[in-house]
Every structure is written in C-alpha cells, then in structure tokens.
Amino acid sequence: MNCQYLSLVSTGQFSPLFLDYITDKDSLKPFYGRFPDKSAFKDQLNDKIFDESKRQVLVDVLEQQYQNIDTKPDFSGLLQPNTFTVTTGHQLNIFTGPLYIIYKLITTINLARQLKEVYPSYNFVPVYWMATEDHDFAEINHFTLLGKNYAWQTEQRGAVGRMNPQELKALFAQIPEKLSLFEAAYLKHTTLADAARYYVNELFGADGLVCLDADNADLKRVFAPIMRDELTQQKSGELVHEQTDLLEGMGYKTVIAPRDINLFYLDDQLRERIERKEDGTYRVLHTKLKFSEDELLDLLDKHPEQFSPNVVLRPLYQETILPNLAYIGGPSEVPYWLQLKSVFEHYQTPFPLLMPRNFAMYVSAVSSKRICKLGLTPEELFQDKLKLKREYVDIHTRHTLKFDNENKTVHKALDAILHKAQMVDPTLEKAVLAETKRFANAIVRLEKKMRRAEERNQETGIRQLLAVKDDLFPNGGPQERSENFLTFYLNDRQFLQKMLSAFDPFDYRMQLCLE
C-alpha cells in the first residue's frame, strides 16, 4: 500500500485537549507522567515494579480464561520480571464494531514489536482489555457491513460480557455473507466475553495479542484494598474534580464527571451505582439493596467480583493487576486519562505512558485511482462536500464564474447616478439605493445559475469526487468510525496484515492507506 500522511489538526476531527497533548504542549505536562516516545519507555520500565504474586494471579486467570481455546498464547513469560504489557481496551462491540477498534488492537501489537527491537532484554505482551463489565448495551449491539446496519435485540441486562450471544443466530440469517469465524464465536459460546476472546484470538493470537476479562474474583481481590478505600474514604472523586477544574480553567472541555463513589454493584442482569446516604448506609440505585458499612465491606472481602470500577477507577484497576507500561487510547480516552493522574499518585501507582492509537483511512483501488485522477490532496479529502465541490469546479473551469470586474464598473456608474440624483433631489437617494440592492441580488442569482451550469458541465468529475468522499466518509462521518473491517477483509484476506505493516505506533498523524 501507498501511505500518505497529514497532521491530525489538519483534519478538523479532534479536540484541542487531544491535539495539545500529542504535540507535547508544556502546560499539559502536569497531567501525565512522560510523553510517549521510544526513549520514555526506559524510565517507565524502571518505575513499574510488579511483584511475583500479582504475576501468578494474572497468569492463573489467563490460563483459566483460555482453557477452551485450542491454540492459545504461552502465558508463562508473564511470570518473568522482565516481561511487561502494553494495553488497549474497548467494549465488546458485536463483530468487532467499527474499524477503529481493530486499529487500536493493531497499534498495540505493533507497539509491543517495536519495543522489543529497542529494548531486546525485555519482553512485551500486547493486551486487549475487554470491557466485559460495561453495561451500555446500546453502544455495542450494532455494526455496519457493506453500508448496511445490523443490530442485536435482547432482553438481557447488566454486564455485557456475561450476556449469552447465541441470540445472534437470528442476525446471521439477515447477513448475506457467510461469516464462519463469528458463527463459531457467537453460536458455540455462552458468554459474549468468551465469544470475543475466541474471534480476537483467531484474528490476532498469532501476533501475540492476549485478551483479558477483568470480571474475575481473583483479579478483583488484588484491587480490593483500593475499592475498600473508595467505599470508606471516597477520595477519587475529589481528586478528579480538582484535575477537571484545572483543565477547564485552561479552556479545555473535559470528558468524564466523577461520582462520590466510583464503583458499581455487579450481579447477574445488574450493574448499578453504589451511593452512600447521609445516615451512613449504602444503597444500590434502582434496587432495594441496602447495606451498612460493615455489611458492604464484608461483602467486598467475600465477593470482590460483585464490585465493578467505573470510568474513574477502571484505569487504576488495570494498572494494579497488569505489569503495564502504556495505554493506547482513542481521541476521547486520552483526554479523560489526563483527568486521572492525581488518583494514580494518591495510590502510589505509576501512571502509564498514554499513547493515541493509529488513525487511518483505507482507500480502495477504485477510490485510489479517482483520487489520483482528480488530483486530490489528503487535506482536501477532509473538507466538507460543498467546499470540496466548489474548489474542484473553480480549479477545473475554463470560464470566469463571478462578475467581479463587471460589478466594479456597474457600481462605479451607480455611484455616479446616486450623486447626480442627490444633486437634483436628496429624497431620491432611497430609490437609487433600492435599485442598487436589486442589482446586487440579481448578480448573486446569476452567479449561482452560472455555477450550477458549470457544475453540469463538470458532472462526471464531480460525481467521482463525491463518490470518493462518500467512500471515505460514509454518512458524513470518518470511515473508521462506522465501517466494519469485514467490509474490506471479505474482499482481501490480507487486509489485517496490510494494516499491521502500514501502522507505526509512534506516528501521531492521520494516514491514508491507498491500494
């Protein structure tokens, strides 16, 4: 593939906070540990101390979670003190969801590979943190394939990772393509977490990617001291509020709003917030569940799996149970991590290197030829349709589509007429100005008619131009946020390997991957 690049700021797609972070703006340095370049990993390796007992728990859990997968990774390396992880995370969108989720996984795999080249005495394991405890089903229940939307309807509730995906059998009947991998994943497993682990392992297991489901009692037990402190001291919300106020005081819009208690109560078909009332009791919202402090802490000791971190504490949970060096996130994730550094400091946990995922547009051979023929630059592709079409017409027309010179001549004459009329009778000024305005409006209408006529003359080029735009921005949004990887993979089984070869995890630009 031929790759072309442009700065993320040129795309008009990203927030000021995200853009300022990836350009290493000095004012943001207090909100993270180290800027993510290759040299920063040396100090991060020295900072990340991860004890042997935690490594053993992690490996035991992974062995159990992969027990029914025939070709599974060798987890024994994670027991060694010179082995570390780099991690990305996402919800369990059905059929992998939009392209950018695949791009996050590829970025993480490539980061582990590059780090091994730079630091050969260490080992690096790419990890996919499956957001199995997330309960926002509406965000994961649909996907787009070849321009058509498909959705999963269910009465199941609670953590999505615990849902039974065999209901998706009805969805396969609607999809014209045969998707054997996903049929095996969804119809032969009883939880969405197991299904996602299966297909991700099939797609990227050979590249070393490891899937972790943190909805696990043993892993939660490692994190239990922090959850206990959250229930009794409620410190994280206060710390995040302070960071948020600082960022907003600098003019940035922030992403997350912390709660007093940043934990959910988790059970089958249920994931609801825990609140502490003025009388000192704890309630689970939208239920009749009520606990004294002693009762809740006893439950935490016996069943830590019934407590689930929200967006404020989930990153800290990740860094507590993994020997992790870096987190790879999207343009919404990176900003909210910047609100969390003081929470990590409070719990004396190293803040990971915070890296943006790769951003890309895959350009088919047909669209690549059209882009070349039309002479479009990467920057032009990100313009809105009206501006893009206008500039194309202006560049390719052989005519002048505006009456600028004529306007100057006529307005000079009208000024002379106005002067003469005022000399005769000052009250004629309004009549002359009214005629001048009507003339200006007529010119505008004529220019619009001429432009429409010229657009008809250039109809073929404009049609090709808009076809490229619609291909890369389906429904007006970036391709990577709507299209599923299967749209390209079904026609080219090398698609994933091509993207693996094209991406550089340390290149923080948008890239167009042209066939």
> In the chain, what percentage of residues exceed pLDDT 70?
97
498 and 440 within one domain: no
Residue 336 lies in a domain: yes
Note the pLDDT of residue 275. 97
What pTM, to 2 d.p., does this model score?
Answer: 0.91
Sign, Cα dihedral of 152, 155, 160, 163: negative
Give the angle 390-395-400 at the CA atoms, nearest 5°.
85
In whole angstroms, give the CA distance from residue 486 to residue 177.
Answer: 10
Report pLDDT digits (tens) over 252-288: 999 999 999 999 999 989 999 999 999 999 999 999 9
Average confidence (pLDDT) over 277-302 = 97
Q: Which of 149-163, 168-182, 429-443, 457-471 has the lowest mean pLDDT?
A: 429-443
pLDDT of residue 408: 76
Compute the average pLDDT of residues 53-63.
Answer: 98
- In angstroms, the CA 203 to CA 496 distance is 8
Q: Residue 329's closest CA among 14, 49, 2, 75?
A: 14
Tell me the mean pLDDT in the region 310-326: 98
Task: Pick the closest to residue 377 from 20, 1, 7 (CA basis).
Answer: 7
Q: Are residues 452 and 329 in the same domain?
A: no
pLDDT at 403: 66
* Residue 248 falls inside a structural domain: no
136 pLDDT higher than 90: yes
Same domain, 453 and 314: no
- Flag whether 172 is in a domain: yes
Mean pLDDT of the chain: 93
pLDDT in tens, 207-220: 999 999 999 999 99
Do 84 and 45 form a contact (C-beta atoms < 8 A)?
yes
Same domain, 173 and 321: yes
At 225 the pLDDT is: 98
Are 186 and 320 in a shared domain? yes
Give me the mean pLDDT over the 366-380 stretch: 91
Domain of 206 in residue numbering reads as: 2-222+308-361+494-503
Q: Same domain, yes or no, for 312 and 447?
A: no
By the 10 Å C-beta count (0-12 exposed, 13-18 middle, 19+ buried), 453 is classed as: exposed
Closest CA to 315 of 36, 46, 87, 98: 87
pLDDT at 450 over 70: no
Torsion angles phi and psi, residue 69, rounded to 5? -100, 125
Could you tell me if 418 and 353 lie in one domain?
Answer: no
Number of domains the chain is built from: 2
Q: What average pLDDT score do residues 336-344 get? A: 98
pLDDT at 446: 77
Q: Is 432 exposed, middle or buried (0-12, 13-18, 19+ CB in 10 A)?
A: middle
pLDDT in the model for residue 308: 98
Whether residue 135 lies inside any domain: the answer is yes
- pLDDT tens for 457-467 read 778 888 898 89
- Over the stretch 399-424, which tens digit does the pLDDT of each residue have? 665 666 776 777 787 787 778 888 87
> Is residue 482, in this structure, part of any structural domain at all?
no
Residue 509 is predicted with a pLDDT of 97
Same domain, 337 and 418: no
Write down the pLDDT at residue 295.
98
Across 170-183, average pLDDT: 94
- Please report the beta strands in 131-233, taking only residues with DSSP state E, as ranges in sequence order: 142-145, 148-151, 210-213
Rounded mean pLDDT, 496-509: 97
Looking at residue 263, its pLDDT comes to: 98
What is the b/e burial string over 147-170, where b = at least 16 CB atoms within 10 angstroms of the residue's CB?
eeebebeeebebbbbbbebeebee
Residue 454's pLDDT is what? 67
pLDDT above 70: residue 133: yes
Q: What are the φ and ψ backbone dihedral angles of 256, each rounded to 5 degrees?
A: -110, 150
pLDDT at residue 411, as a whole number: 74
Q: In this predicted structure, what is the pLDDT of residue 404?
A: 66
- In a shared domain, residues 325 and 463: no
384 three-class SS: coil
Residue 105, pLDDT score: 98
294-303 contact pairs (CB < 8 A, 24+):
296/231, 297/228, 297/231, 297/232, 300/224, 300/227, 300/228, 300/231, 301/224, 303/217
- List b or e across 113-144, with b for residues whose CB sees 16 or more CB atoms inside 10 angstroms: ebbeeebeebbbbbbbbbbbbbbebeebbbbb
Q: What is the per-residue pLDDT for 431?
A: 86
Confidence band (pLDDT; 50, 70, 90) for 449? Answer: confident
Q: 470 and 337: one domain?
A: no
Q: What is residue 358's DSSP assignment?
A: P
Mean of pLDDT values over 45-68: 96
Spacing of C-alpha 348 from chain mean position:
28
The pLDDT of 169-188, averaged and rounded, is 95
Query: SS3 for 167?
Result: helix
| 349 in the same domain as 205 | yes
Which pLDDT value is given to residue 211?
98
Q: Are 37 and 115 contained in the same domain?
A: yes
> What pLDDT does 433 receive?
84
Q: 56-60, 300-304, 450-454 — which is least confidently predicted?
A: 450-454
Q: Is residue 83 part of a domain?
A: yes
Stronger pLDDT, 338 or 394, i.e. the higher one: 338
Structural domain includes residue 288: no
Residue 88 counted as domain residue? yes
65-71's contacts with Cβ under 8 Å and 24+ in sequence apart are 65/197, 65/211, 65/212, 65/213, 65/216, 66/197, 66/201, 68/194, 69/197, 69/198, 69/201, 71/201, 71/205
% of the chain at pLDDT higher than 90:
81
- Please state the φ and ψ torsions of residue 490, each to the nearest 5 degrees: -65, -25
Token representation of residue 503: 């991406």
In terms of average pLDDT, the best of 175-179, 356-360, 468-472 is 356-360
The yes-or-no verdict on residue 320 having pLDDT over 80 is yes
Kindly provide the residue ranges of all beta strands, DSSP E only, lying in 255-330, ordered along the sequence. 263-267, 270-276, 282-284, 290-291, 307-309, 324-329
pLDDT band of 77, cuts 50, 70, 90: very high
